[in-house]
Structure 1
Amino acid sequence: MRRVRSTSTRREFLTAAGAATLTACAPEAQVEAARPPNILLVVPDQQRHDWLGAGGVIPVRTPNVDALAARGVRFTNAVCASPLCAPSRACLASGKEYDRCGVPSNGFNYPLDQTTYYQLLRDAGYHVMGCGKFDLHKATEDWGLDGKHLLPEWGFSDGIDNAGKWDAIRSGSKQPAEPYMGYLHETGLLEMHVADFERRRGLGGYSFTDPTPLPEHAYCDNWIGAQASRLLDAAPAGKPWHLQVNFTGPHDPLDATARMVDGYRGVENFPQPNGNTQLSPEVHVAVRQNYSAMIENIDRWLGLLLEKVESRGELDNTLVVFTSDHGEMLGDHNFWKKRLPYQPSVGVPLVAAGPGVRGGRTTDALASVMDLAATFLEAAGVAVPATMDSRSLMPLLRGDAEQHREILHSGMDPWRMVFDGQYKLVRGFDDSISEYYSSRNLPTYAEMQQFTLLFDRDADPLENVNLAAKAPDVVKRLEAALPA
């Protein structure tokens, strides 16, 4: 059984109980509680599930996420429905599993005739905002210089959509095609930024950890954070709002600013990768320092945005969620980036706090990023369409339930994965294929049925021992949950 562990102290419990009594006696508080909550969703790009200070293993500093976890719920068994940018974000928007989201890879646009939870919130009266990297139109890359080209069709009232790091360089190295590169062009920084990325591409990708030459204010995630702050300033008073902030870090390249890099000099007690000898231990540490620095900067922006919400007098009625679209291998199993069924790739951080959430808890209940669609709809009092696979996390967040799902799914051609909380079964993955991050010439799921992996994550959390041949009964039980 997956369990929820309380981290509240007795003093915190008594304080909360007293506050609840006062709230019950205050008509104004009852009116406030009846209003639909605001929703703040913060989504870094490619952040591993274990790269949080609250996890206690990695020396990364995330004080604002940790504080959010202390007053909310932190999930230790959360995964994405697909460990690749476009499919994962399409699963979130549609509330559907990978095989039903309409976006099998980065080469597809989100189907505009498919309902999003953003549309449903907007139709229910929400002011729906978003900024940063949405990646719902990877095939055509039509952001528009103002970043608003497809936002209304997806369900947004206001926002700004920009490209991911490499997409921005590829599409706008000569003529900007999206708002962030347009901003760099206007400020005279475009050529310097493009040259820096081309140098990183040519000098070994992850092994190049020099800081970006951009000034602090022009760094992409700081630009995105400023856009989020501007959107909050412009949000109409007295109307519930939704804001999704999609940061481009800590996605590669490891282009942290000089200030961010300096903050991790001397921090060397990072675990080395599981089974990787491609780089020296010193370079692996430098990689992890920059990766952590980008995450800490995003955490800083979470704190600034929460201060902004509090200054509007809305923090107590704002549901705040921190998660990621997928993880990052960081050299584990001799792989980098994502696309893989291993936990560093499919696992994500997931923390939620706000009205109706019984806080101070850590849970190993099974949850998917896709479940946020139904969670936000239920919190807003909007019916969840029967066409969605998403299941609301609100019963667990309220403390009414300790379990959520019996099986988690994730997929990315050519493999599919199911996980029951102990055993992970993967069908269609061949780890001898070294180029899973490229979608070109990969076999299909149907062509890879002979490859089966089974891991006991309780006994083997690093997923080094394939038990498929030794536990055929477990394979048979779990394969019933795989797609045909």
Structure 2
Amino acid sequence: MKTKQYVTFLIGLLLAIITNAQQPNFLFILTDDQTYNAIHAMGNGDIKTPNMDRLVEEGVTFTNSFNQGSWSGAVCLASRCMLNTGQSVFRAAHNFSYLPNWGRVEGEKTSVPLWGEVLRENGYETFLSGKWHLSDTAVLNSFDFAHAIGEGMYETFDKNGDNQPGYHREKADDTPWRPWSPEFTGQWTPHVKDILYDENGQKKISATYTVQEHTSELYADNAINYLQTRAKSSDKPFFMYVAFNAPHDPRQSPKEFVDMYPPATITIPQNYLPEHPFDQGDSKIRDEQIAPFPRSKDAVQLHLSEYYAIITHADREIGRILKALKESGKGGNTYVILTSDHGLAVGQHGLMGKQNQYDHSVRMPLVIAGPGLKPGKKVEEMVYMQSMFATTCDLAGIKIPETVDFKSLKPLMTMEQAKGEDYILGAYKDLQRMVRSQKFKLIVYPKVGKIQLFDVANDPLEMNDLANEPTFRSVKKKLITKLKKQQKEMGDPLDLKPYFPDSF
């Protein structure tokens, strides 16, 4: 009997080894606030991103990738909660144990399986370095190892403890604040935590400590160390979650990168406006205080120059990670995923932040490179960035949990005739709702009774509002019907009829 049990054990062990050998690794690289075209290879001639460009050349690029929205002014938090739960913006918000107290909403409490947790339970070793923005409970459920768990953002302060030098800046010399100076703290002095193991092998979160190193360099160092040690020697497949704070403000980077982008040389966006034409909701939120009102062209050039500089700096660090992956010998069986949590306005439509439904703020880069994928392929179908949970499970042969709302993108990467989303839903608090097809976009602002309609196929910068044009009345009506349908399917509790009784 003991012999049979031993043989059964050996067979199970062998099967586990074979399964692990066949399962791919995942290196997930997440930036913060990087809009969809803030990569040179995506048509932005002002910015230098050689390592991201190489990923575009080697992988599959989704040119229409979207964030579904936010229930909070901290859009980063909502995006990451959706990403790690796989749930829609209206369902993800109820996973109370995964959210900080300030990021929760009223209503039913849920707790669904997390992305890293599902991979870990299916044989993956899971690792985190960088911005997390969710709770310690979510970290411990998701990861075996974590070094330098970053905060949501790092405010800058001068020597007197004042944070105002980083705000309301129109020209570089308006305040003493300098993006390359560690004197102003912020990205240069991050407060971070780790996962520790006690003497009984139980995981816990360490006390917070401060590091005198730029966040992008710190997270890259930790990722490289993991690739050179555990990943290189382990038989387990790995899931690495490397999340940069860059290019979220404060947009700080070494002087050599800032000097690459003199503000006067920066192209002013075609859809630049001094101010947004109406109050879209949260018009004076912190993100919008970065530049003074009204936005001058000088201010937009200054902030874009610093935005590009911190992205180029992060690109260098991403290149270091990719080099370490290649040297580890694991690159051939690793999917590298590069994306961002959402985009950013930086002067477009008179806005600086991401608390809006324009493409510059709801679209982000999404590139996946790895075994079996066609290099340089472009997928124009519309998708949600939060599909990464389902996609990695699909690529690894792991059952996608029933709690996951967003569908796998594997068919779009491997099949020519696969379809994405017919319509994209967007939401911001109870202030904005959006529905978008490949051709048209409808944005609804219930608090101010405003509706916008854009022909995004012919007006991609969303400069010509067609909502009151009689010719487009039927298009508007159709999109309102689609919006109501999407709201119902995704569990949106907001009833728009009281705000627009004649339209809804």
Q: TM-score range by the shorter chain?
A: 0.7 to 0.9
Distance 1:248 1:473 in 2: 43
Which residue pairs with 1:61 in the alignment? 48
Point out where structure 2 has 5 or more consecutive residues left out of the alignment.
1-17, 189-211, 275-293, 489-504
Q: 1:120 aligns with which of 118, 121, 128?
A: 118
Which residue pairs with 1:214 in the alignment? 182
Which residue pairs with 1:442 in the alignment? none
Quick one: structure 1 residues 343 and 68, their matched pair in 2 at CA, closer, same or farther if it must change by over 3 Å? Answer: same
Distance 1:267 1:382 in 2: 51
Quick one: structure 1 residues 118 and 342, their matched pair in 2 at CA, closer, same or farther if it must change by over 3 Å? Answer: same
Instruction: Specify the code of the residue in structure 2 equivalent to 1:132.
Output: G
Does the aligned pair in 1 maintain the 2:130–2:150 contact within 8 Å? yes
Please give the secondary structure, in 1, of the residue aligned with 2:113: coil
Does the aligned pair in 2 maintain the 1:273–1:330 contact within 8 Å? no
Please state how far the C-alpha of 1:281 moved relative to its aligned partner.
Answer: 3.0
Instruction: Specify the code of the residue in structure 1 equivalent to 2:390.
Output: A
Quick one: structure 1 residues 410 and 369, their matched pair in 2 at CA, closer, same or farther if it must change by over 3 Å? Answer: same
Which residue pairs with 1:89 in the alignment? 80
Which residue pairs with 1:262 in the alignment? 259
Aligned positions of 1:220-239 closer than 5 A: 220-236=215-231, 237-239=234-236
**CA deviation map 1:329-359 (0-9, x unaligned):** 1111111111100111101011111012122
Quick one: structure 1 residues 266 and 407, their matched pair in 2 at CA, closer, same or farther if it must change by over 3 Å? Answer: closer
Please state how far the C-alpha of 1:269 moved relative to its aligned partner.
Answer: 4.3
Distance 1:198 1:280 in 2: 19
**CA deviation map 1:448-470 (0-9, x unaligned):** 49432221101211112222333
Distance 2:427 2:348 in 1: 19
Please state how far the C-alpha of 1:266 moved relative to its aligned partner.
Answer: 7.7
Aligned positions of 1:318-357 closer than 5 A: 318-357=334-373
Which residue pairs with 1:163 in the alignment? 151
The structure number with the bigger radius of gyration is 2
Distance 1:273 1:382 in 2: 45
Q: CA RMSD in A?
A: 2.9
Please state how far the C-alpha of 1:312 moved relative to its aligned partner.
Answer: 1.1
Instruction: Specify the code of the residue in structure 1 equivalent to 2:408.
Output: S
Aligned positions of 1:281-360 closer than 5 A: 281-360=297-376
Instruction: Specify the code of the residue in structure 2 equivalent to 1:458.
Output: A
Please state how far the C-alpha of 1:214 moved relative to its aligned partner.
Answer: 2.0
Distance 1:248 1:101 in 2: 22
Which residue pairs with 1:186 in the alignment? none
Distance 2:380 2:269 in 1: 25
Distance 2:79 2:342 in 1: 7
Superposition TM-score, scaled by structure 2 size: 0.73
Query: What is the percent sequence identity of the aligned residues?
Result: 27
Distance 2:310 2:216 in 1: 9
Please state how far the C-alpha of 1:422 moved relative to its aligned partner.
Answer: 1.1
Quick one: structure 1 residues 300 and 401, their matched pair in 2 at CA, closer, same or farther if it must change by over 3 Å? Answer: farther
Which residue pairs with 1:135 in the alignment? 133
Quick one: structure 1 residues 63 and 294, their matched pair in 2 at CA, closer, same or farther if it must change by over 3 Å? Answer: same
- Confirm or deny that 1:253 pairs with 2:269: no
Distance 1:466 1:210 in 2: 39
**CA deviation map 1:354-395 (0-9, x unaligned):** 012122212211111111111111011111122211111111
Instruction: Specify the code of the residue in structure 1 equivalent to 2:130.
Output: G
Quick one: structure 1 residues 398 and 450, their matched pair in 2 at CA, closer, same or farther if it must change by over 3 Å? Answer: same
Superposition TM-score, scaled by structure 1 size: 0.76
**CA deviation map 1:34-92 (0-9, x unaligned):** 61111111111101111110022341111111111111111221111226111111111
**CA deviation map 1:300-332 (0-9, x unaligned):** 111111111111101111111111101111111
Point out where structure 1 has 5 or more consecutive residues left out of the alignment.
1-30, 138-142, 144-148, 174-190, 430-446
Q: Give the number of equivalent residue pairs.
A: 403
Instruction: Specify the code of the residue in structure 1 equivalent to 2:354.
Output: K
Which residue pairs with 1:459 in the alignment? 458
Please give the secondary structure, in 2, of the residue aligned with 1:129: strand
Please give the secondary structure, in 1, of the residue aligned with 2:265: coil
